[in-house]
Structure 1
Amino acid sequence: MSPDFLLLYVNDPDASAGFYGKLLDRAPLDARPGFVMFKLDSGMRLGLWGTETVKPAPNAPGGFEIGWPVGSDADVDQMADDWAARGISIIQQPETMGFGRTFTALDPDGHRLRVYQPALRP
């Protein structure tokens, strides 16, 4: 058995749905008051659940990181430029780290969005 969805607890599901809809370039799979779900290309689903309706009540939003693998170092740099031009907050500019080239951005609730190109392993 494998997990099939991620849930982010968000302050404003409609605002977060707008953010992720533009970022993912797709409409939600499901949208209802306090909750929105997107289906990702991998088949995994991404849910956005309003903190006022989550049971049991969650901790504060913003404690999650989502990774986006890309094909090259140039793709990392291009996506950072693209996201910055869209007004997305970039908290780590593109750099090469031990695991590969990466940058980190934030969604409206402070969840981290990491784009990376894994370093080749010997």
Structure 2
Amino acid sequence: MTAQKGKDLLLKIHNGTTYETVAGLRSRRLAFNTSAVDITDAESAGRWRELLEGAGVKRAAVSGSGIFKDQASDATVRSAFFGGSILNWQIVVPDFGTVTGPFQITALEYSGQHNGEVMFDLALESAGQPAFGVL
């Protein structure tokens, strides 16, 4: 597999009809995590930590930052955050696949310099099981 362009990693939000790319994003990140369940006891071999297979809580986290453009997707993001809504999102990873599922916006930040553009930072947390699709 050859190197991929970062701009091809897309974050999309379902607007009720179709998935719409969140406008103005310059950087995006997708992370999968699971918590470990420690089952170590006094009889563990060599006193090495033991983990319970398949027992941890799984989660997906998405973050992004970009420029504020006042597009329809920006309005959808704002209303989802202030409404505390859990919406369907899709993350497109080039030459890998798509991750689609329910996510909630957990952080929305705006910033700007007096001589620059308005920027925003966005963080999402999975609110259910995401689905993986091959491209």
The structure richer in strand per residue is: 2
Q: Which has the higher helix share?
A: 1
Q: TM-score, normalised by structure 2?
A: 0.27
Provide the TM-score with structure 1 as the length reference.
0.29
